Amino acid sequence: MLILLAYLLLSMGRLTGQSRLYQWMNVVGAAGFTINGWWHGALPSAALNVVWMLIGGFALWRIWAKRGTST
């Protein structure tokens, strides 16, 4: 639900892809899917969501780095 909510808010223009909230919603949602996939033995799904988390983590790092240089 968290990933779907993030996508809905992005599609409605309430958040942007550069929003920390949007990226955190994706990271936390993907963590939940990773745990669920691992628990149920759905390793391809778990692996995909690990990649999803890494992408969100990288985006958060870039957002943090960009804001750190603009101040």
Question: pLDDT value at position 68?
Answer: 75
Q: Does residue 15 fall inside a structural domain? A: no
The lowest-confidence range among 24-28, 32-36, 52-56, 62-66 is 62-66
Residue 13 has pLDDT above 80, yes or no: yes
Q: How many domains in the chain?
A: 1
Q: Does residue 48 fall inside a structural domain? A: yes
What is the rounded average pLDDT of the residues 37-60? 97
Domain span including residue 49: 2-7+20-66
Surface-to-core class of residue 51, CB atoms within 10 Å of its CB (0-12 exposed, 13-18 middle, 19+ buried): exposed
What's the pTM value of the predicted model, to 2 decimals?
0.87
What is the rounded average pLDDT of the residues 30-41? 97
Question: pLDDT value at position 70?
Answer: 62
Q: Does residue 32 fall inside a structural domain? A: yes
